[in-house]
Chains A and B, each alone.
Chain A
Amino acid sequence: MSAAIQADTHPFVRKIETVALFDLSLAEREALSTLPVQVTRFDAHQDVVKEFDRPTRCFAVLSGLAATYKTTPEGRRQVMAYHVPGDVPDFQSLHLEVLDFSISAVTDLSIGFVPHGALRTMFEDHPRLAGAFWRTTLIEGSLAREWALNNSRREAYPRMAHLFCELMVRLDAVGLVQEDSFALPLTQYELGDALGITSVHVNRVLKELRDSGLITLSGGRLTVHDVAALRTVAEFDPTYLHLRRNDSRR
């Protein structure tokens, strides 16, 4: 093993295992886990990549939470997606040379950079892996569609509930939910940037969700008290996340 990261916990192995519709062969597992990874740490709120960058490498989130965002010329920010450990949020930079979004650290963040060249070589040697990574970018598109629907057509109460349901399922898939509770160190301001509403309205909706007995958000931790009820409020259907356990016919 060349990397300091164990093969079975290697972010790429773990990610592809959750999205690929096939079982990794030994050779594919080896190829993924020996990709050269440069581990780099970022402080909360630091940008990892910026709009108009021309990256020569992709990165995987190793720990912490990251956000893809765009801003209007006057500086109003909209978060487009959150990225949990295992995600490879700028994989499109392999094929689209200029970034059309920025990605910042929401929390203290550890990421692993992988040079584009190493990925290209791997895809030539292992075409099924190229398909699996393609699938990850298609899933990102699916999430973006759900976010567009959520932020434009749901009222703030179900909208916020939907965001919490999504994060819970995605974090659970990588083992970061314990007893319906997970780290979510987002300020009301940041939640507003994700949901497209003011922090003032966020404050009100959070209180209503709390008063309904559905959730508690305190000390940077979200606890869901009634998962089924939260999902009903959110009209949450996890199909769009295309987790392997849902999509696979086997």
Chain B
Amino acid sequence: MPLFFFDTDDGRLPLRDEEGCELPDLQASRRIALEALTEMAADPLPEAEGRRCTVAVRDSAGRTIYRARVELTGEWLT
């Protein structure tokens, strides 16, 4: 199975994946990237009213093949 690397950043902690993860195909890597993104966005709950999280997937040749981003914005209305 091909190896994929997931580089992540939630604005507090950028982390380059050095180990990688064996997955059946590209779609599996997309699924994990999106799932990880939702986890990072809410966990831990952000202290500030904004958080931008990104995930970039690299293949074993080092090419970035997929990227996703979520932006969380909270605001008081009173």
A and B: bona fide binding partners? yes
B13 at the interface (CB under 8 A from A): yes
- B8–A208 contact, CB under 8 A? no
Distance between B65 CB and nearest chain A CB, rounded to angstroms: 15
- B44–A198 contact, CB under 8 A? no
Given A188-B19, A189-B21, A200:B8 Cβ within 8 A: yes
Among B13, B43, B55, contact of A207 (Cβ-Cβ < 8 Å): B13
Contacting residues, chain A, for B45 (C-beta < 8 A)? 155
Given A189-B21, A198-B32, A203:B39 Cβ within 8 A: no
Chain A CB within 10 A, most for which of B13, B36, B44: B36
Distance between B12 CB and nearest chain A CB, rounded to angstroms: 9
A207 to B9, CA, bound (A): 13
- A207–B21 contact, CB under 8 A? no
Contacting residues, chain A, for B10 (C-beta < 8 A)? 204
Contacting residues, chain B, for A207 (C-beta < 8 A)? 13, 15
Given A198-B36, A200-B17, A155:B44 Cβ within 8 A: yes
Q: Is the interface of B mostly helix, strand, loop or mixed?
A: mixed
**Interface size of B in residues (CB-CB distance below 8 Å):** 18
A46 to B55, CA, bound (A): 33
Distance between B28 CB and nearest chain A CB, rounded to angstroms: 11
B16, closest chain A residue (CB): A203
Contacting residues, chain A, for B13 (C-beta < 8 A)? 204, 207-208
Distance between A154 CB and nearest chain B CB, rounded to angstroms: 10
- A201–B44 contact, CB under 8 A? no
A10 to B6, CA, bound (A): 46
Contact-residue bracket for chain A: 10 to 19
A204, closest chain B residue (CB): B15
> What sequence of 0s and 1s flags, for each residue 182-206 of chain A, a beta carbon within 8 Å of any chain B beta carbon?
0000001100000001111101100
A156 to B40, CA, bound (A): 10
- B15–A203 contact, CB under 8 A? yes
> What sequence of 0s and 1s flags, for each residue 3-35 of chain B, a beta carbon within 8 Å of any chain A beta carbon?
000101010010101010100000000001101
Distance between A123 CB and nearest chain B CB, rounded to angstroms: 46
A211, closest chain B residue (CB): B13
Given A198-B39, A201-B39, A207-B13, 11 more pairs with CB closer than 8 A:
A156-B39, A157-B44, A197-B39, A198-B36, A200-B6, A200-B17, A200-B33, A203-B6, A203-B8, A204-B10, A208-B13
Residues in chain A within 8 A of chain B (CB atoms) = 155-157, 188-189, 197-201, 203-204, 207-208
Which 4 pairs from chain A and chain B are nearest by CB? Answer: A200-B36, A201-B39, A198-B36, A200-B6
